[in-house]
Homo-oligomer: A and B are copies of this chain.
Amino acid sequence: MNSPLPIAIIGLGNVGTGVAKILTQHPERITQRAGRPIEIRRAVVRDLKKSRDVELPAGGLTDDIQSVINDPKIKVAVELMGGIHPAREVMLALLEAGKDVVTANKALLCVHGDEIFAAAKRLGRTVCFEAAVAGGIPIIAAVGQSMAANQILGIQAILNGTTNYILTEMLFRGQSYADALRDAQTLGYAEADPTLDVNGTDAAQKLGILAQLAFGTKVSATEFHVTGIDKLEQVDIKHATDLGYVIKLLASVKLVKTRLEMSVRATLIRRDRPLAQIHGPFNAILLDGDVVGNVWYSGRGAGQLPTASAVTADIIDLAIGRAQLTFAQLDLWRTTPEFPLIDPLQASSRYFLRLSVEDRPNVMAEVTGILGRHGISLATIIQPEAPEVEAGSTAVPIVPLIIMTHRTTAGSLAAAERDLDRLGSVRSPRMVLAVAD
């Protein structure tokens, strides 16, 4: 029997408690898999008085992070504080103190990954982050190890369970966005402040980590197109369904010659595609490798136990010594990326437009004329029958106009949108969604 591996868990929230449970409730299993016992020597919490759902060794609970940083016996620290500050400072101090770190902190890695990884490499330490992207899916191992013979050509993914749950409720139960969000909050799938989930930031951070891993390209969320689902209306879901599509918050990165096209946005996906069939709080990832072709993963992206499963696998990898070898070999956060991002205005896509237009002669000609002048050709155009006008009303009735375009650049579309805005006959709101190939 090898000597135990003493670890510290920093943050005993939902995931931290899950990790502590796995380690304390299944010690034989973990010892067998890791080749040595894993011992929780400290757990750092904010409130020592709060009652905990897990039994820790006496004296293990502390509210003093320094007691971890300064304890040379602790070899591995599991950072589950979340957020960027003070998580960044804590992470750097842990590395400086000679500890390997396991983290699920996607925001921190997306924003300060280059600094943290450089510090770890300089100090000969290892950072494990399987849990930072799509908790239950071992996507970091897949990209970093299993696809090692491949140049990855593209990644298409559903990386945010909250929005996927909301979209599923809107699709199958006909709920409004607001009602579906409230239900998601009640069920614990959405946080009290859901902003970072519903506006696409969370998915963009995860996609940023995947892009760095797969292409060595550091991207900040301001450099590529990121939108969420918070403006979607039930009528968009319905029009998409009528056209044979399902709307998902799609995170996508694709190698086009030597440049990356990257986006996170509500996207129409053909109903028969695998990603269109991922419902509820699940995540899914489709990888395209130049040797292996398409490989597909799906599982729970968040939640206490799926995320804790990934964190624990990382701890076991460190106990075995495998994670150290993997980390030394990962070519992350290069200073000169091989594949820079394409200018977002040059990225091309098919688009779904829902316009509100005045129901009078010539409007259709005006709208299609503008699109045509910007070189945008139309695949489908649907003007649903207008509601009957109330007798005596003198207002011009407003009707929806649904357009699916062929492939065009974001720049052309933006220029066409500016011209549409100048047209008195096109009113707000306007909905513009991408359509996946």
Contact = CB atoms under 8 A, between A and B. Distances in A.
Interface of A: 22, 26, 29-30, 32-35, 130, 136-138, 141-142, 145-151, 274, 277, 284, 289, 291-300, 305-306, 308-310, 312-313, 316-317, 320-322, 325-326, 328-329, 331
A147 B309 contact: yes
A136 B146 CA distance: 9
Contacts of A142: 138, 141
Copies in the complex: 2
Nearest to A307: B292
Given A138-B142, A146-B130, A306 B322 contact: no
B296 A298 contact: yes
Contact of A299 (B138, B296, B331): B296
Contact of A306 (B137, B293, B313, B326): B293
B317 A291 contact: no
A331 B28 CA distance: 13
Contact of A313 (B147, B274, B294, B326): B147
Nearest to A296: B298
Given A138-B141, A148-B313, A292-B306, 12 more contacts: A22-B149, A30-B149, A33-B149, A145-B322, A147-B313, A148-B317, A291-B312, A292-B310, A295-B299, A296-B297, A320-B326, A322-B326
Q: Tell me which of A291, A313, A317, A326 has the highest count of chain B C-beta atoms within 10 A of its own C-beta.
A: A291
Contact of A325 (B284, B309, B325): B325
A298 to B, nearest CB: 4
A141 B136 contact: no
Given A299-B295, A305-B292, A312 B149 contact: yes
Contact of A33 (B26, B148, B300): B148
A322 B33 CA distance: 15
